[in-house]
A = this chain, B = another copy of it.
């Protein structure tokens, strides 16, 4: 029985690159957290401490910053594809590169109702994400792009039920036909192409998800997730699958009866832990799976 090296990767995580476009008086800003990871012929580093095939993580960092100027940083998907292709094409021992990006959005300051040219407030809502896996050279090249977001905190104060569930000896929960439903949504969708208008598509998918959350009368968070995913796949045939992770951020009705105060779904305690946690994937049934799309590197994406 031999002991051998298995799965391995290395890279530079969480480079905080900020790119200002200032060719005119009206500046633009892009603010990202980018991580790079390389797979390839690196066993010697592990087995013998031989670094001769290892491009330092510091060099990966330098590249990430330089590419924000050399290649530009207008869409995180395009930027990540450029960066991934660079490592695979120029570093001899690299077989595939994984680039993960978080993007923090800014909104222009209004002065007397007019958008300011070079001042912004951090938007602070969901964090947009991208995870790109570039593998192989020339005709062997594959590009897998996963777009998404995380930390979209969304709530509805009615239009949500939870009833008719299975009961076992540990079941104390009462069914309800009117509750607060809230989650901090993580969504990630896999593209089947890289010929995409990344900005318009992102905004549209986010809009579809939010609108479905709002308008669907929900019998369970599970159902809401599935319907959101289905709506996205129906809208874009170049989306192969979409994955959700949704903590059920419980809002417990507060018992005010001891004080003679009525509480008709008006006062809640927003609890921290524990929380229900629902995972759902909506897929097309005729497409080959792409497990490497989901091999998270940083856990941030």
A194 touches B (CB below 8 Å): no
| Distance of A119 Cα from B17 Cα, bound (Å) | 34
Binds B, one of A74-82, A138-146, A156-164: A156-164
The chain B residue sitting closest to A258, CB to CB, is B172
Q: Is the interface of A mostly helix, strand, loop or mixed?
A: mixed
Given contacts A56-B173, A58-B172, A122-B153, contact A275 B223 (CB under 8 A): no
The chain B residue sitting closest to A158, CB to CB, is B118
Q: Are B125 and A52 in contact (CB under 8 A)?
A: no
Q: Are A248 and B57 in contact (CB under 8 A)?
A: yes
With beta carbons under 8 angstroms apart, the residue of B8, B14, B48, B58 that contacts A273 is: B14
With beta carbons under 8 angstroms apart, the residue of B17, B27, B270, B286 that contacts A267 is: B17
List, in ascending order, chain B residues with CB within 8 A of A165's CB.
Answer: 51-52, 54-56
A200 touches B (CB below 8 Å): no
Q: For the complex formed by this chain, how many copies does it contain in all?
A: 4
| Distance of A118 Cα from B156 Cα, bound (Å) | 5
Q: Are B213 and A277 in contact (CB under 8 A)?
A: no
The chain B residue sitting closest to A111, CB to CB, is B211
The chain B residue sitting closest to A166, CB to CB, is B55
| Distance of A59 Cα from B132 Cα, bound (Å) | 39
The number of residues on chain A lying at the interface, defined by a beta carbon within 8 Å of a beta carbon of chain B, is 149
List, in ascending order, chain B residues with CB within 8 A of A91's CB.
Answer: 166, 168
List, in ascending order, chain B residues with CB within 8 A of A164's CB.
Answer: 50-52
The chain B residue sitting closest to A164, CB to CB, is B51
List, in ascending order, chain B residues with CB within 8 A of A237's CB.
Answer: 1
| Distance of A69 Cα from B264 Cα, bound (Å) | 10
A272 touches B (CB below 8 Å): yes
Q: Are B59 and A226 in contact (CB under 8 A)?
A: no
A residues 22-61 with Cβ under 8 Å of B? 22, 27, 29, 31, 33, 35, 37, 42, 45-61
Contacts A/B (CB < 8 Å), 17 sampled? A3-B230, A3-B285, A5-B281, A7-B280, A12-B275, A13-B276, A16-B270, A16-B272, A52-B166, A69-B261, A70-B259, A118-B159, A119-B214, A122-B125, A122-B154, A123-B124, A124-B153
Which residues of A are at the interface with B, using a C-beta cutoff of 8 A? Answer: 1-22, 27, 29, 31, 33, 35, 37, 42, 45-63, 65-66, 68-70, 90-93, 106, 109-112, 116, 118-126, 151-159, 162-173, 180, 210-211, 213-215, 218-220, 222-223, 225-226, 229-230, 233-234, 237, 241, 243, 247-248, 251, 254, 256, 258-259, 261-286, 297-299
13 more CB-based (< 8 A) A-B contacts, given A51-B220, A53-B166, A169-B259? A2-B284, A12-B275, A18-B267, A19-B266, A45-B222, A46-B222, A47-B223, A56-B162, A92-B166, A109-B210, A109-B214, A112-B211, A123-B124
